[in-house]
Every structure is written in C-alpha cells, then in structure tokens.
Structure 1
Amino acid sequence: MMRSIYGASPGDISGMNTDRLRAEFMVEDLFSRGEIRFVYTHLDRMILGGAVPEGAALRFGGGEDVGTPLFFSAREMGIANLGGAGAVTVDGVRYQLANRDILYIGRGAAEVTLESDDAADPARFYMNSVPAGADIAHRLITRAEAKPLELGEAERANKRRLAMYIHPEVAPSCLLLMGITDLAPGSIWNTMPPHLHERRMEAYCYFDMADEDRVMHLMGRPENTRHLMIANGDAVLSPAWSIHMGAGTGPYAFVWGMTGENQAYNDVSPVPVKDLK
C-alpha cells in the first residue's frame, strides 16, 4: 500500500510543531535497498517514489493503489537516476539510465521494471507521477540532452545551474515538469528570489549531500514562514500557497518536479526577501 499525505492549509501552520510540519510536508526514508516505496500526496495528486534495486529487479504497474486498472491508466511519470548506473524497462523496451538521466513514461504503460547494473553501486531511482490527460511517447532524456540555465550570482552565494529535462523546450509531457538544480562551489542558496506559483505545486528531492550536512528549507506564507531541516535523500512538498527557498551547510543538489494548471515555468510571483517574516 502507498502511504498518503493530505497536506494542510496556510492557516494550519501557525499551530504546527516540528513533528507535524515534517509529517505534512516532508517525505523521509524514500530510498530503501531492495524496495520500491511510494507516497501519494493530495497536492495535485502527485505521487513520489523511491527505489534502490540490488540483486533482483523491482517491478510495478498495477493500479490498485490509484483506483485504475493500471498505475499508468491516467498517469505519467518521470524517473531520475540519482545513483549508480541502472536500467528501466517499460513494456519490454529497456532504457539505460546513467547518473542524472531522467526517463519520461507516458500514459498507458503496463509494467515497469527497475534494475541496477552493479548491486555494490546501485541505482537510486526517484519518481514523480501526476495525472495525465494525453498520450505522449516514453522518452529518455540524458544529462547531456537537458537544457541548462545559469542563474544567480557568486557574490550573493546563490549561483546555480538549473537543468530542464521534462519540459516543453526539451521533452514534452501532459502536465509534469522535472529537472535538476546544482549549486556552484561556494554557493549555498537556491530558488532566489523566493516566490509563489498559485497555479502549480512543487516537490523537491535533495541529494548528493554528506551525512553531516543539512539544507534549511524555508516554506510558509511570506508573512508567516517556517523551516524544515533536510537530510540527504529527503523530499519536500511545496503547496501552491507556500514560498520555497533553502540554504545548505555543504554541497547539495535537488530534483524539482511540478504540476498544476500549466507548464509555464515563469508563471511565478516573486517575493522580496526583505518582505519575509
């Protein structure tokens, strides 16, 4: 069975302690060796998944947990490999994924198989799945094929490279957007300036972090912010009403995934840092 997260309204967070904030907006322990784990969120019905195949392949595709004949009867998915080399087979077609490659799976797939090339250095597959209303062909987007954007300034410690993978400018989808952001050496701040996008929700999976490091992920309304302490492999849900930005105590990267009313990446409302409380 999938675990479910129901989320909360902006009016709820004033009464939430740390444990409640983490329960409603964080996904921990997503990656477990030899398992597939899924979490069904009620934020635009995005499903987050993690899988670390070792000796045996891992499979999914049934729709019992989503109320449809197949998992992909009315869904699409992006699978990012954040670990060692591996392969994803979709209905008999095998796709080889190196580190930081992303596979798009369109509506209608019946069975997905996940494998690692080397059990000693397993693949770490991170998945975002959202409802879809169109049939779009599966496609592998390699790291080299992603579209990079250079953002930020070293002087403000927020220089970063954002790589678009599942995006209208690179690989089409119905509603899913997905990519990876890397911080430049010496920079710690991401997603600056903070902003809101009322027509889309977003999920982040932080990775490539040392065990002792943490990212301080800021969320909430601009006038009523909260923070979450994020470890390597943790994912965070960002509802449409929440700002999002973060700072790390050491090097890190993150996968971002979005869905909602549109795929307009710049459909955002920036919030000046000086206005945050």
Structure 2
Amino acid sequence: MTMRVLYGAAPADIKSYDTAKLREAFLIEDLFQQGQATFVYTHVDRLILGGAVPTSAPLTFGSGEDIGTPYLLSAREMGIANLGQAGTITVDGTAFHLENRDVLYVGRGAQVLTAESDDSASHARFYMNSVPAGADHPHRLITRAESKLLELGNAKRSNHRKLRMYIHPQVAPSCLLLMGITDLSEGSVWNTMPPHLHERRMEAYCYFDLAPEDRVIHLMGRPDETRNLIVANGDALISPAWSIHMGAGTGPYAFVWGMTGENQEYNDVAPVAVADLK
C-alpha cells in the first residue's frame, strides 16, 4: 500500500499554471498498478482515492499509518467500485463478491480489507473513494441492478447519458460520501453538460472504458477562466467546489463520480450557461 499527497489550489493560483503544473495538482495517473494497492490523499475535503489490481495474490490494506489513525477507516467511510473483471473484497472477515460495475460501501471502523481477482489472468480493478465520516452505517454491496438509474441529456446535443446512483440516500445511505457511475450513450460525447458548480461539495472523477488511443478533454476552473486536462483510460482527477467539471471524449467512455461536502443533496448546484464560459 502506497499513498501520496495532493494539496490542491485556489482559483487564483491556476491562472499561472502551465500544463504540467495543472496536471500535477489535479490529475492522478497510474492509479491502477497490477499487483498493487495505490492511494492518493488530497487536502481538498480530505478525500482519498485508491486503486487496487490484484493479480495472482490478494492485496491487503487498511493501515492508518499514513493518516495518523489506527486504521485507514477508523474515522472514514469508503466506496469501492469494480471497473474490471469479477473479484472479491473481504472486510474484517466478511466477503463481498463484486461483478463489473458493482459498488461496495464500507462503513466507518473497518480495519482490514483484502482485494482478490476471481481470475488471476483477467483482473478486477477496484477504484476507491474514502472521506471522513461522523456516523456509522453498515457495509453493503450495491449491485448494478440495485442502483438508481437516471437518464439525462439529449442525443441531439451529444450529451445523452445514463447515470446510476449507488452510494446515495435513495439507494444505500452513508454519512457524507456519494458515489455513482455514468455511461455516455452511443454517439454522445459530453458529460455533465450543461456545466454547474456546487459550492458545498467537491467531486472526484475516474474515467474508464476508454480505448488506448482515445482521450477525454476535461474542462475545469472558474466559468470565466477555464482550463483543460487531457485524460486517458483509468485516470482520475480532483474537482474542487469552486471549479466547473465537464468533458468530451474522442470515443466511448464512462466515469465514476464521487462527492463529499456539507450535504448529500445531489441537485444542490448552481447551473452555468455554456454561453457564459470563457
């Protein structure tokens, strides 16, 4: 288990960032390493992102050494989405089997987590979001069939998409974490369009199911001074509360979204008109 730290930035800071500096501050590459569990701690609402790709041997993690607590989840909750082949997450001796696009909610107080792939030749790819929690909720597996489906956008505007809520008060309660998966419909390229801000919540994206030659152009920054990140398959990024977040892909893709902040009101947003972007 390895963990690195990101400190984030203020809106005024990124005016002077070149491409390399912007990527260093907000983009997380190489999160999914075969045979490793990798974590990134961000000071943006103290979100932790993680990736685990078990191969021939299980991966065990859960130590709180890097964050100054007895266990990683001593005062945190976690969502784990399987973006690969079937696998199992064992939490303190209780096993949960995850098919592709199933999500496991792990409540505060869990101590030892183990990740395994069903087939060592075709690996599970576990993506994790963890946030501070002030309440206890039971561990729960949410299958794709149990998620809540919302259809958003319009094919004529190239932004039709299917959003599935997993960790959400209407599906599986948590303390502060929200988590779900969005798929673009065939022929659509834009996600989270039109853009918006949610001052009371930050968000993290993990883009996946891109072909090796494809990229997503992810737009961020203040509405009147936008920036972009070029994102490849498996890359994740941090979207602070002050930033818009939207993207367009050169080919088919999906993404996991995770949020934390002052509330769990998914519609607590301030829309931004496309015509106002600069």
Give the deviation of 1:70 after TM superposition: 1.1
Task: Name the SS of the counterpart of 1:2 in structure 2.
Answer: strand
Distance 1:76 1:59 in 2: 17
- Any idea what the Cα deviations from partners look like across 1:9-53, whole Å, max 9, x if unmatched? 000111000000000000000000000000000010000000100
Distance 2:111 2:75 in 1: 11
Alignment of structure 1 residues 180-259 onto 2, 5 Å: 180-259=181-260
1:102 aligns with 2:103: yes
Task: Name the SS of the counterpart of 1:185 in structure 2.
Answer: coil
Paired AA for residue 244 in structure 1:
H
User: What is the number of residues matched between the two proteins?
Assistant: 277
Equivalent residue, structure 1, for 2:26: 25
- Any idea what the Cα deviations from partners look like across 1:158-184, whole Å, max 9, x if unmatched? 000000000000000000000000000
Equivalent residue, structure 2, for 1:159: 160
Paired AA for residue 214 in structure 2:
D
Give the deviation of 1:2 after TM superposition: 1.3
Equivalent residue, structure 1, for 2:169: 168
CA RMSD of aligned residues (A): 0.5
Structure 1 ranges of 4+ moved more than 6 A: none
Task: Name the SS of the counterpart of 1:144 in structure 2.
Answer: helix
Distance 1:23 1:211 in 2: 22
Distance 1:165 1:81 in 2: 12
Q: Which runs of 5+ in 1 are unaligned?
A: none
Equivalent residue, structure 2, for 1:13: 14
Paired AA for residue 204 in structure 1:
Y
Alignment of structure 1 residues 52-201 onto 2, 5 Å: 52-201=53-202
Task: Name the SS of the counterpart of 2:263 in structure 1.
Answer: coil
Equivalent residue, structure 2, for 1:49: 50
Equivalent residue, structure 1, for 2:268: 267
Give the deviation of 1:5 after TM superposition: 0.2
Distance 1:260 1:9 in 2: 17
Task: Name the SS of the counterpart of 2:121 in structure 1.
Answer: coil
Identity, % of aligned positions: 73
Paired AA for residue 11 in structure 1:
A
Distance 1:163 1:142 in 2: 11
Give the deviation of 1:265 after TM superposition: 0.2
Give the deviation of 1:62 after TM superposition: 1.3
Give the deviation of 1:198 after TM superposition: 0.4
Distance 1:179 1:145 in 2: 12
Distance 2:193 2:172 in 1: 25
Paired AA for residue 179 in structure 2:
M
Paired AA for residue 167 in structure 1:
H
Give the TM-score normalised by structure 2: 0.99
Paired AA for residue 72 in structure 1:
L
Give the deviation of 1:110 after TM superposition: 1.1
